[in-house]
Structure 1
Amino acid sequence: MKQGARGYAGTEAARPRTSGAARVPAQPRAAAGGPLPAAPASSGVRGEHTHGEAGLPGARTRRPVQRTSVRGQILDALRTALVTGELRPGEVYSGPALGERFGVSATPVREAMQQLALEGAVEVVPNRGFRVVERGARELAELAEVRALLEVPVMLRLARTVPAGRWAELRPLAEATVRAAAVGCRATYAEADRAFHRAVLALAGNEQLVQIAEELHRRAQWPQSGPTASRGRADLVADAREHTALLDALIAGDADAVRALVTDHFTGPS
């Protein structure tokens, strides 16, 4: 999609509760600014494990013991904070300080931040922590160009080969982006936006393509720094409506309209 406005959940069999379990509070806050969103209840990433009520915001009663990944929860929460701008470009965040806010040790925070460094979202600042990368309009334009080179030809090929009924099955995903845009929450919209594109590209049957496009898409959703950084609700709504218009053209078999829509979707003004 145009630049603008985050794991899969999973649990395993119950195990006895152990001491020293990490607990993620419902409303963690960033060390250097605004509140961070609570990490989701579970994640498919395996690593450190917590037990019991960890990751259950607002839990007031004992819950069944579950084995979950603290690292995955923190990574999801930090990705959401990047999309919403709660982790601010140029700011430095330390692992211990963020760990204290999340109610966990610094280790899963550092590991999550290392993953974000590999994704290009943050950079390591020796002896201090991690700085959120400041990104300008040029980088976003370059990401849009690369995404267009990957996705546009695939979409045009799929437009010729996928039957209308299959496209119609994606209607709920397109409509989900419209609802998310109407709410105006960039994190919710970012997730719905990626889900729609992921479903479209999955029809090509190339898992490598889907993974690479997903990574580029996620990077394109991080807000840029500067006076033009923020995208408002109107921008999100316009972006989402292109999804439904694209589906209409695909179902109708209108190749010219599909070409125009997918090209503008990546290269049009943000």
Structure 2
Amino acid sequence: MEQARARAADAAGVPRPRVPEQPVRGEHTHSEPPAPPAVPRPRKAVQRNSVRGQVLAALRAALVGGELTPGEVYSAPVLGERFGVSATPVREAMQQLALEGAVEVVPNRGFRVTERSARELGELAEVRALIEVPVMLRLARTVPGDRWAELLPLAEATAVAAASGDLARYAEADRAFHGAVLALSGNEQLVQVAADLHRRAQWPLVSGPVSGRRADLVADAAEHMALLEALGERDLGVVASLVREHFAGAAG
């Protein structure tokens, strides 16, 4: 019936009533504001952080390796030329090193590499022992013996680095070993505090001929193997003695 009426109306020239068109799914109507454009990620900031991280790692290696001399002042522009970057990431990295106690800010000049006395080194060793010896003893009593065997590759890595005489490489391997041992405690704050103290103890540069430094590093790395053995055997007396002697050593 409706269709017949519609045909009759068409024949008589009567216009049909307009039916509003329905919006197609996915299209925007006048009452719906268009979606905002996608905001690109700040790639430049990520790249800048990456550059600063690379400069920080290079400066740490130069400090431990003896390329930056204690007591000397270095400007950010000069170091930037050395690393092929602008002075900005160097300043940012140096500010981090100042927080870690490796350098001191010298207004209008740059950064002076910190000189540590024997007393300061002894104090650092004492603090590290006060924190880590009780933790090591607790781990020796609670961690299964087979878990210590999993850390053997890290101890072996310190031995390889020591044999090369590369101070920066050894410092990195040494921190990795100690960090892995303490990580078994499950205390992240402890790991961070111990790592900061460890790094501060490594900043003073080892003086003397390369052969002498290598001998110290080799002896230090051997203590890592002995410590793992004592921990696995739950020999608490040997663990405490090794940790204290290890911290008092030149390589830390």
Normalising by the smaller structure, the TM-score range is 0.7 to 0.9
SS in structure 2 opposite 1:232? helix
Query: Which residue does the alignment assign to 2:82?
Result: 101
Query: SS of the counterpart of 1:69?
Result: helix
Is 1:185 paired with 2:166? yes
Q: How far did 1:253 drift? A: 2.3
Instruction: Give the match's secondary structure for 1:130.
Output: strand
Q: What is the SS of the residue equivalent to 2:67?
A: coil
Select the residue among 25, 47, 50 that pairs with 1:49: 47
Distance 2:212 2:52 in 1: 29
Q: Write out aligned runs for 1:1-270 (5 A).
A: 47=45, 49=47, 69-224=50-205, 232-267=213-248
User: CA offset at residue 144 of structure 1?
Assistant: 0.6
Q: Which moved more, 1:195-204 or 1:91-100?
A: 91-100
Distance 2:202 2:188 in 1: 21
260-269 vs 75-84, which moves further? 260-269
Give the match's secondary structure for 1:131.
Answer: strand
1:85 Cα deviation from its structure 2 partner: 1.1
Residues 227-268 of structure 1, C-alpha deviations (whole Å, 9 max, x = no match): 79x961010000100000111112222222222222222236
Measure how far apart 1:224 and its partner are. 4.4
Unaligned regions of 5+ residues in structure 1, if any?
1-14, 19-46, 51-67
The C-alpha deviation readout for 1:35-64, integer Å capped at 9, x for no partner, is xxxxxxxxxxxx4626xxxxxxxxxxxxxx
Alignment gaps of 5+ in structure 2: 1-40
Separation (CA, whole Å) in 2 of partners of 1:225 and 1:155: 27
Does the Cα contact within 8 Å between 1:89 and 1:225 map onto a contact in 2? no
Question: Which residue is 1:41 aligned to?
Answer: none
Superposed CA RMSD: 2.5
Seen in structure 2, the aligned counterparts of structure 1 residues 201 and 218 have a Cα distance that, compared at 3 Å, is: same
Distance 1:213 1:193 in 2: 13
| Contact 1:136–1:226 (CA under 8 A) maintained in structure 2 | no
Give the structure 1 partner of residue 25 of structure 2: none
Paired position in structure 2 for 1:62:
none
Give the letter aligned to residue 97 of structure 1: V
Distance in 2 between residues matched to 1:174 and 1:269, nearest whole Å: 18
Structure 1 residues 127 and 48 mapped into 2: Cα distance closer, same or farther (>3 Å)?
Answer: farther
CA–CA distance in structure 2, aligned partners of residues 199 and 168 of structure 1: 12
Pick closer, same or farther for the CA change 1:140–1:267 going to 2, 3 Å.
same
Deviations 1:186-214 (A, max 9, x none): 01110110001000000000000000100
Q: Which moved more, 1:168-177 or 1:98-107?
A: 98-107
Residue 141 of structure 2 aligns to a residue whose secondary structure is helix
Higher helix share: 2
Identify the residue that residue 37 of structure 2 maps to in structure 1.
none
